[in-house]
Amino acid sequence: MTLTGNRPWIAAIALVVGVIGVAPSAASTSDDAVRAAVAAGHSARVIMQFATTADRDAAFNRLLDRGAAVRAVDTEGGPALVVLSSATVLATEFPNATQVSLDAGVRVLADTPARARPVRNGSPMREESVARPRSGLAVAIVDSGIAPHADLPTSRIRAFKDFVTGGTTLVDNCGHGTHVAGIVAGTGARSNGLYAGIAPDVDIVALRVLGDDCSGNTSDVIDALEWIARHHVEHKIKVVNISLGHAVLESIFTDPLVQAVERLSRKGIAVVTAAGNKGINPATGEPGYGGVGVPCNAPSAICVGSLDTKGDADLSNDQVARTSSRGPTRFDLLAKPDVVAPGVNIVSLAARGSRLFREFPDLRVQDAYGEYDYFTLSGTSMASPTVAGAVALMLRDNHKLPANTIKVALQFTSRILANTDVLTQGAGALNIAGALQLGDAINPSVTHGANWIRHHVTSANTDGNGQQIIWGRRIIYGDRFVRPQYAELHLKRWDDDLVWAYDAIADNVVWANGDNVVWGNDDNVVWGNDNVVWGNDDNVVWGNAADDNVVWGNDESDNVVWGIGDNVVWGNDDNVVWGNTDEDNLLWGSGRLREVWAANVVWGFWADNVVWGNITRATEDNIVWSNGDDNVVWGNCSKASDDNVVWGNDNVVWGNNVVWGNCSDNVVWGNDNVVWGNSVLTGGRR
């Protein structure tokens, strides 16, 4: 790739990015792609993170002496280098870095347009956008730039920063960023309001990270997010939209782009991301699972899938677009997306002269005056800004809403789609009117543990066409559900200073700046200590009948149920099944074996007996799901051990009488009647 612009690069040789593989010598500090490049002897472009600035600067000099192209970066997460070099040179620096990640290429997440599709007028956004005076809020669009348009003139573009060339002139030679910005904030001036955006009263901050070919680098996206972190107060940025991404190559705990998203979320900025368009298994042509990309896999990101509304007002025929990426996330197994929103045949602003405008003339749409000022695109790239616009409206009405609270309101009020599992639709289809209603009712100033609903709210509303929408009342929290009644309470987990699902993911992990959220420490959030107690009555409970936050194994339909009839059911309506006896395989889908998109998306899903050791959390190395022997084995003991922990057998119940242990029948985890792995059932609810 050519190095251009005002970047402080120092280059001595031409370099080529390698392919994906494995290099065991770098396994502890590098991602899949970096290990592959080193093992194959390929050059690579990587992001190196360091513990101290001194370590970073020393590495900078060594790499420069060895002919590498190097750029120093200072992020809120710590010092880093962006390096292009040979496999041999990179390998010598692995021991000096805390983490080495591929500076992966990122692309727009719009589906490849169908050239044969005739020019169509499209349909306006389902939710009505009411013109109001300027709200003062700004939404940052991290994309391919922006071209001024009659629907979004220069006066509405609060700031522009070009991370590709360093230029200062408003530009979008790809055309994707302008389309995305119009979905958020276009006024519809050239269409008499027909193609207005969701929030036409907010301003846009455009950050260009994609070049003329609609592609870019992860490091530029991180630079843009760091810029937002420094300037969000100045420009009143409360929402960020990221309609781009790349495949998951490492865990959320080390991925630098995920970390950058989490740092923004901790500042109270809602980061809305596109799930991706890898929803079809290329080997079968059928829906596949595990295709959600980066940064949609960030726990606190609002991950959005694509909904096909069929271009009409009828809600009953809505369905998730086949191409929309499904969960779970690779390595960390989080349930994504969070919600789905309209993303098929969306008409928005055209950037005349851009690549998309030139190459796909059949997707141009005429305005009210016969000019081609609009354009049709599909994909999660279009669904994400629909949600970003809705979030802007929520903050316009209640500017004190924390980012995590916004996520709760969006999920809770979403409309559940029939015959669609959680890993496909998340909490359901976006319900803007409902989210505004619930968001306006929340008072974030009340004390923790108190009811924060300031006035009566019903769990239903009507949309712009007078149709009733019943709220799904789901809250998807990492890899589980939270009982719906906790949406009424001001819990610490709904605030900005906690990583979403922090207590469901791992302990002893430090997020953000090192002083905001600490897992497994005494500072703010403690796992198993004074502040957040795992297995007691304070915040997180496994197998208790009533508590503040999370219950596993309760008999209420809105909760997560494990161990019913020798099967393990995850979610509502039996949509998602783990360890069903009908198959000697992991079923994460509905009613039959669902293959996951591509072997390199989620490792091991192609095998008949799925061993999760390489993709689940690092501390659970020998977890086996549904290996044909007692359905599911979970634990740290050998399979031959009589006392091994078995999940899914007759004498094991998770929720009320569950034994948790590492080869012992006497280990009790949690509350009085929580027993794991023991055949004696005492107390609790079945």
Q: Which two tokens stand for residue 606?
A: 């192609």
Q: What is the pLDDT of residues 479-496, one digit of tens each?
A: 888 999 999 999 999 999
Q: Is position 384 annotated as part of the catalytic site?
A: no
Q: Which amino acid is at 233?
A: V
Please tell me the predicted confidence (pLDDT) of residue 101: 96
pLDDT tops 50 at residue 429:
yes
Which residue(s) pair with 108 in the sheet? 244
Which is it for strands 44-49 and 99-102: parallel, antiparallel or unpaired? antiparallel
| Residue 652, helix vs strand vs coil | coil
In this structure, of 10-19, 129-138, 264-273, the range with the lowest mean pLDDT score is: 10-19
Q: What is the pLDDT of residues 9-52, one digit of tens each?
A: 333 222 222 222 222 334 568 898 999 999 999 999 999 999 99
Of 149, 176, 179, 246, which is the active-site residue? 176
At 380, the pLDDT band (50, 70, 90 cuts) reads very high
9 vs 406: which has the higher pLDDT: 406
Among 132-146, 325-339, 641-655, name the most confident range: 325-339
Looking at the chain, the number of H-run helices and the number of E-run strands are 12, 29
pLDDT tops 70 at residue 533:
no
Helix spans in 569-639 (H): none
**Residue 359 contacts residue 281 (beta carbons within 8 Å):** no
pLDDT tops 60 at residue 310:
yes
At 147, the pLDDT band (50, 70, 90 cuts) reads very high
Can you tell me the distance from the alpha carbon of 396 to that of 389, in angstroms, rounded to the nearest whole number? 10
pLDDT tops 50 at residue 234:
yes
DSSP string covering 441-487: HB-TTSPTTSB-B-S---SEEE-TTS-EEE-----EETTEE--GGGG
* Mean pLDDT calculated for residue range 450-471: 93
pLDDT tops 70 at residue 586:
no
**Residue 341 contacts residue 137 (beta carbons within 8 Å):** no
Q: Is position 42 annotated as part of the catalytic site?
A: no
Q: Which two tokens stand for residue 679?
A: 């055949």
Of 143, 151, 308, 332, which is the active-site residue? 143
Which is it for strands 302-308 and 270-274: parallel, antiparallel or unpaired? parallel
Please tell me the predicted confidence (pLDDT) of residue 128: 38
Domains of the chain: 24-103 (3.30.70.80), 138-397 (3.40.50.200), 533-686 (no CATH)
| Omega prior to 295 cis, within 30 of 0 | yes
Q: Is position 381 annotated as part of the catalytic site?
A: yes
Please tell me the predicted confidence (pLDDT) of residue 134: 58
pLDDT tops 70 at residue 646:
no
Share of the chain above pLDDT 90, in %: 61
**What is this structure's pTM?**
0.74
Can you tell me the distance from the alpha carbon of 615 to that of 479, in angstroms, rounded to the nearest whole number? 14
* Mean pLDDT calculated for residue range 641-657: 35
Can you tell me the distance from the alpha carbon of 80 to that of 74, in angstroms, rounded to the nearest whole number? 6
Please tell me the predicted confidence (pLDDT) of residue 505: 66
Of 30, 354, 381, 590, which is the active-site residue? 381
| Residue 279, helix vs strand vs coil | coil
Please tell me the predicted confidence (pLDDT) of residue 215: 95
On average, the pLDDT of the chain sits at: 74
Share of the chain above pLDDT 70, in %: 65
Can you tell me the distance from the alpha carbon of 398 to that of 129, in angstroms, rounded to the nearest whole number? 17
DSSP string covering 59-91: HHHHHHHTT-EEEEEEETTEEEEEEEE-HHHHH
Q: What is the pLDDT of residues 176-226, one digit of tens each?
A: 999 999 999 999 999 999 999 999 999 999 999 999 999 999 999 999 999
**Residue 465 contacts residue 474 (beta carbons within 8 Å):** no
Please tell me the predicted confidence (pLDDT) of residue 62: 97
3-state class percentages of the chain: helix first, strand second, coil last, to nearest 5? 20, 20, 60
Please tell me the predicted confidence (pLDDT) of residue 567: 30
pLDDT tops 90 at residue 557:
no
Can you tell me the distance from the alpha carbon of 150 to that of 135, in angstroms, rounded to the nearest whole number? 19
Please tell me the predicted confidence (pLDDT) of residue 580: 30
pLDDT tops 50 at residue 363:
yes
Q: At what angle do helices 218-235 and 256-266 cross, to 10 degrees?
A: 10
Q: Which two tokens stand for residue 541?
A: 């409970």
Burial of 599 (0-12, 13-18, 19+ CB in 10 A): middle
At 388, the pLDDT band (50, 70, 90 cuts) reads very high
